[in-house]
Structure 1
Amino acid sequence: MKLRVRELAFFFLLGAAASLVGDHSHVTTETTEYFTDAVPSVWSSPIWFPILVGAATASLAEIRLHLPNPRTDVTVRQGIAGVAAVIGTYVTTALVHGAPTVPSTTLIVAMAVIIWCVLGDGPSVVCGVLAAVIGPAVEITLAKAGLFAYHDDSDGLFGVGPWLPPLYFAFGVVVAMLGEIAAGGGRPNYRR
């Protein structure tokens, strides 16, 4: 393990908190609906949702540090921008849920590409692809199990949003960068 326990805890809490903002946006716009009251909720989400996203966040940050050439020149400012970009992209998926599939998915793909081009690097693609494959697969499984559903106009990818892979890709790229910041001391450099 390259990240310290306190850094892993920070990433877990960051992922959990950010997921609650995006998921609340999905619930309030009726992009998604939960069918279980068997577990406690946090804001609009069942407790398992922020736990899964928090665990994914901590895991991806650690994975990036085991890949070649972690950057040491990424800054806290870039990290803050990355978190804002991913939350903004997540909320955008809630706002476009009634839009036709091709334009709405293209918009999220474009946002993910910009996030990678501005904040990512080659190895961050590995974290992005892992998130883009595993995240939607978990959501598809949970939707098929009847725990929640996407609205009929947002379930074109085996019952989940077709824009989930690029959203998760952007998430993985940004979390990879955050892991690099934590490992490299995260130079503040607010002027960049």
Structure 2
Amino acid sequence: MKLRVPEIVALFLLGAAVALIGDHSHVVTGTTEYFTDAVPFVWSSPLWFPVMVGAATASLAELRLHLPDPRTTVTARQVVAGVAVVMGAYVTTALVHSAPVVPSSALIAAVAIIIWCVLGDGPGALCGALAAVIGPIVEIVLVEVGVFAYNADCDGLFGVGPWLVPLYFAFGVVVALLGEYAAMKRQPVVTRSMPHANR
């Protein structure tokens, strides 16, 4: 394991917090509806939802550090921008859930592409691709077993929103960035000593 426990906890909590904001947006706009009360709810989400997203955040960040050439030039501003854009895209899917599928999905895909072009790299794209496949599949299964449902206006991908694919891709790219930043921040700072003056 390359991430340290405090870093894993911080990434878990960050992922869970963004998940709660996005999921609340989905619930209050009618994008999704839960049919279960088997576990306690946190805000608008059953407890397992932020736990799953938090675990995915920490896991993908750890995965990025096992892929080639983690970057050491990631800045705090890039991290904040990445998290903000993913959260904004998540909330946007709630606001456009009743829009026609092509423009709404194209909008989120455009955001995901820009995120990768500005903040990502090859291994980050791999993390994004894994998230874009696994995330929607998990949601499709949960819909199939009746845990929750997407609004009929936006359930065109086997019962879930088609824009989930680019949204999860953007999530994976930014989480890879978070992993790189966490590892980079613990690197020792190298200071150069001043040369001694000739006497």
Same fold (TM over 0.5): yes
What is the number of residues matched between the two proteins? 187
CA contact (8 A) 1:76 1:186 kept: no
- Aligned residue for 1:33, secondary structure, equals strand
Once the 2 structures are TM-superposed, how far is the Cα of residue 186 of structure 1 from its aligned partner? 7.7
- Aligned residue for 1:159, secondary structure, equals coil
Separation of aligned partners in 1, 2:144 and 2:50: 19
CA offset digits 1:31-81 (Å, max 9, x no partner): 000000111000000001000000000000000000000000011110000
Separation of aligned partners in 2, 1:57 and 1:108: 20
Q: Give the structure with higher Rg (CA).
A: 2
- Aligned residue for 1:161, secondary structure, equals coil
CA contact (8 A) 1:61 1:180 kept: yes
- Map 1:65-144 onto structure 2 (within 5 A): 65-144=65-144
Q: Give the structure-2-normalised TM-score.
A: 0.93
CA offset digits 1:112-155 (Å, max 9, x no partner): 00011111011101100010000000000001010000000010
Corresponding residue of 2:19: 19
Separation of aligned partners in 2, 1:52 and 1:134: 12
Separation of aligned partners in 2, 1:137 and 1:186: 35
Separation of aligned partners in 1, 2:133 and 2:158: 13
- Aligned residue for 2:122, secondary structure, equals coil
Which runs of 5 or more structure 2 residues have no equivalent in the other structure? 188-199
- Aligned residue for 1:149, secondary structure, equals strand
Separation of aligned partners in 1, 2:73 and 2:186: 8
Structure 1 runs of 4+ aligned residues shifted over 6 Å read: none
- Aligned residue for 1:69, secondary structure, equals coil
- Aligned residue for 2:12, secondary structure, equals helix
Corresponding residue of 1:161: 161
Separation of aligned partners in 1, 2:77 and 2:182: 13
Corresponding residue of 2:37: 37
Note if 1:49 corresponds to 2:46.
no
Which runs of 5 or more structure 1 residues have no equivalent in the other structure? 188-192
CA contact (8 A) 1:109 1:167 kept: yes
Identity rate of aligned residues, in percent? 73
Corresponding residue of 2:150: 150
Q: Give the structure-1-normalised TM-score.
A: 0.96
